Amino acid sequence: MRIGVLTGGGDCPGLNAVIRAVVRKGTKVYGNEFLGFRDGWRGPLENATMPLGVEQVRGILPRGGTILGSSRTNPYATDDGGQRIRDNLAELGVDALIAIGGEDTLGAAAKLHSEGLPVVGVPKTIDNDLGATDYTFGFDTAVNIATEAIDRLHTTAESHHRTVVVEVMGRHAGWIALHSGLAGGANVILTPERPFDLDQVCEYIEERFRSQYSPIVVVAEGAVPAQAHEVTQTDRLDSFGHVRLGGIGQWLADSIEQRTGKEARAVVLGHIQRGGTPTAYDRVLATRFGLHAVDAVHDKDWGQMVALRGTDIVRVPLAEATAKIKTVPAARYAEAEVFFG
Ligand code: F6P
């Protein structure tokens, strides 16, 4: 069998570990051949390919990014996208596709499967917001990077008696903010799930200053003030209709400084959370996803996504997995609230 592999959406530490596991097991156990598609759905849409075999995956386990490249290309941005992909795969002699991606890439995979494409999905996102899987690889790495940053920011904030606002990634879900904020001992954590009250945030900050410590506020890029609008970098949308987020950290630092009269600084962690080497946890999870994805292809179990449930890897229908994103439940947020102020 000849299997195509693509990685779509924002890159994520562990993508290369998935590719390596797919190729190593597929070659050794099932005698498969592989073809790499470049830059997500752009690859099969435009016949942009690269050789993919054991030789190409040597040494990539600890490397961040993706050797296949990635993009946010939406195959349904044009009417004939689905047909073009099916025609190109037939022309290249590709019998099956493994799509590694987040809600957008796998949403497109679900639609292509409903139109007859033999595809299996692997969930990836540092945001950990994909339904049907307990965790996605990349999340642990992002949380560790953000936690280390928060640890470092505590000491400099305290030396200067100022507030530091740390903006982390998280478009619709505050998982990175919640976990790094809890692990790093943040005094306030703000997530997209719950519009925040600026007066209340300032009260927590004053309370922290009264105890002779400096406040650290962790804010997800998609968090929204109850009294204002979402803060975005530009109005331009990507091909899946998402606006580019970012800027809430600076907005918050300015507002806090104005209201409390005490200096506040913003630090935006941005793509540092996504770049570089994956943690051991993410390498193992990504490897297990890759091994099980190639099993699903061998079983011709099309339209399925591999997922983590407890410590087991299971298969769930792509359509179900991409139906809605996994947000932070109110009870999980309440656990963190005990430490606010
Ligand atoms: O992959 C999701 C994500 O990490 C979001 O949290 C963030 O909004 C987005 O990627 C930013 O990605 P890019 O800068 O590549 O558009």
Tens of pLDDT, residue by residue over 112-127, are 999 999 999 999 999 9
Q: Annotated catalytic, 197?
A: no
Query: Which atom, in ligand 1's list, is nearest to the CA of 102?
Result: 1
Q: Which of 171, 238, 268 to mutate to test the pocket of ligand 1 (most atoms within 8 A of CB)?
A: 171
Cβ–Cβ < 8 Å for 278, 62: yes
Ligand 1: residues with CB < 6 A are 9-10, 102, 125-127, 169-171, 221, 245
Q: Is residue 329 assigned to a domain?
A: no
User: In which band, very low, low, confident or very high, does the pLDDT at 55 lie, cut at 50, 70 and 90?
Assistant: very high
pLDDT mean over 200-220: 96
Q: Is residue 327 assigned to a domain?
A: no
Q: What is the reported pLDDT for 233?
A: 65
The answer to whether 19 is a known ligand-binding residue is no
Q: Is residue 330 assigned to a domain?
A: no
Q: Is residue 205 assigned to a domain?
A: yes
- Average pLDDT taken over every residue of the chain: 95
Query: Which atom, in ligand 1's list, is nearest to the CA of 238?
Result: 16
| Tokens, residue 187 | 């005094």
Question: Are 258 and 303 contained in the same domain?
Answer: no
Task: Report which of 13, 14, 33, 38 is spatially closest to residue 23, judged by C-alpha positions.
Answer: 33
Query: Which of the residues 127, 129, 140, 282 is marked catalytic?
Result: 127
Q: What is the distance in A from the centroid of ligand 1 to the CA of 169? A: 7
Q: Is residue 332 assigned to a domain?
A: no
Question: Are 270 and 282 contained in the same domain?
Answer: no
Cα–Cα dist 318/113, whole Å: 9
If you take atom 12 of ligand 1, which residue's CA is the nearest one? Answer: 10
Question: Are 282 and 252 contained in the same domain?
Answer: no
Cα–Cα dist 291/282, whole Å: 14
pLDDT at residue 229 greater than cutoff 70: no
Question: Are 267 and 283 contained in the same domain?
Answer: no
| The model's pTM | 0.95
Task: Report which of 258, 164, 176 is spatially closest to residue 208, judged by C-alpha positions.
Answer: 164
Q: What is the reported pLDDT for 230?
A: 64
Question: Are 228 and 133 contained in the same domain?
Answer: no
What are φ and ψ of residue 207, in 5° steps?
-60, -45
Question: Are 163 and 249 contained in the same domain?
Answer: yes
Question: Are 76 and 98 contained in the same domain?
Answer: yes
Query: Which atom, in ligand 1's list, is nearest to the CA of 222?
Result: 8
User: In which band, very low, low, confident or very high, does the pLDDT at 241 lie, cut at 50, 70 and 90?
Assistant: confident
Looking at the 3D structure of the chain, how many domains does it have?
A: 2
pLDDT at residue 228 greater than cutoff 90: no
Question: Are 97 and 165 contained in the same domain?
Answer: no
Question: Are 36 and 74 contained in the same domain?
Answer: yes
Q: Is residue 326 assigned to a domain?
A: no
Q: Is residue 336 assigned to a domain?
A: no
pLDDT mean over 159-185: 97
- Among the ranges given (224-233, 263-272, 274-283), the one the predictor scored with the smallest mean pLDDT: 224-233
Domain extent at residue 145 = 140-275
